[in-house]
Amino acid sequence: MQQRTIASFTVSAIGLGCMNLSHAYGTPPSAEQSERVLLAALDAGVTLFDTAALYGFGANETLVGKVLSKHRSSFTLASKGGMSGVHFDDGVKRVIDGRPEAIRKNCEDSLQRLQTDVIDLYYLHRWDKKVPIEDSVGAMAELVRVGKVRAIGLSEVSATTLRKAHAVHPIAAVQTEYSLWTRNPEIAVLEACRELGAAFVAFSPVARGFLCDALHDVGTLVPKDIRAAMPRFSPDNYAANLKLLPPYKALAEEAGCTPAQLALAWLLHKAPHIIPIPGTSSVAHLQEDLAAMDVRLDAGLLTRLDALISQGTVTGPRYSAQSASEVDTEEFGVSV
């Protein structure tokens, strides 16, 4: 198992994003199936498990705590606060709240659900733009000081925000969507992480299933599938994007790997501080993903990949206007 570094932690070069087991892509798998995936990942040598208070409104942390707490010393545990489910009269809704008191409460609640006394890597899930980033990070730094958190990270932030936060307390990792079809980190934050010594944790590294060749008809998406509200998955945009798949699959065949493995191998070849965290509800897919560490790509194939799928060839933005307003990442065509 190849290894990479986050702060003082040595972790597997590919981690496991646990969100899929409780959240975002329709009906979650059964508890038994989820347990099989988590334990299979641990048995295979995965040592970075990533969850969040938001996922399933606490259900994902509860699952991870129940299944993995007895193996706590065997892996690096990452979770996120600052965005969680809040109960209203008409149901549970996600709320971004970066106030210090909210971050402290989020962390306490997460510790209980995860059945642990310390979270190795604790992210601010979203920067609450009503609260100075320095205040939110200051609260997280206090969690480190009192021993409830070992290192802190940020999710979906710009290089400017990262540098402001890092001036308050060292930022161990930035987690942002990054794949062949989402290149925003290449504008500035990927390089800022390298300069500051922070790891870059890439979520949705197989483009929410697109680069797995797993979704051929967006009309089959169920209402609880977050992709149904994403512009790239609208019928017209997705029809255009599907035209990229045949030549992409041909490149995977040339590389001697599956489409999913090609997407992950591309990230691993990009820079040594990048750690992809694909998610899956299938043990077979988990094993397929981890085998991407053995894929070798030559410079010519990497160049052709970059030309085939990038911000210039993919149709549609990655987020709706509402979701885009909630993140702080750089955008192409906007000065930084």
Residues with a known catalytic role? 55
Closest CA to 214 of 231, 229, 227: 227
Q: Would you call 196 exposed, middle or buried from its count of C-beta atoms within 10 A (0-12, 13-18, 19+)? A: middle
Nearest to 117 by CA among 53, 48, 69, 180: 69
Interatomic CA distance for residues 282 and 284, integer angstroms = 5
- Whether 34 contacts 56, CB under 8 Å: no
Give the 3-state DSSP-derived string for 114-150, with helices as H, strands as E and coil as C: HCCCCEEEEEECCCCCCCCHHHHHHHHHHHHHCCCEE
Cα–Cα dist 22/190, whole Å: 29
Instruction: Give the whole-angstrom CA distance, residue 15 versus residue 186.
Output: 21
Calpha distance 153→15 (Å, rounded)? 16
| Residue type (1 letter), 98 | G
Phi, psi angles (nearest 5°) of residue 126: -145, 140
Give CA separation, 135 vs 176, 187, 212, 238, in Å: 21, 26, 40, 40
Q: How many CA atoms lie within 13 A of 246 on its CB side?
A: 3
Question: Which amino acid makes up residue 260?
Answer: A
Q: Are 72 and 150 in contact (CB under 8 A)?
A: no
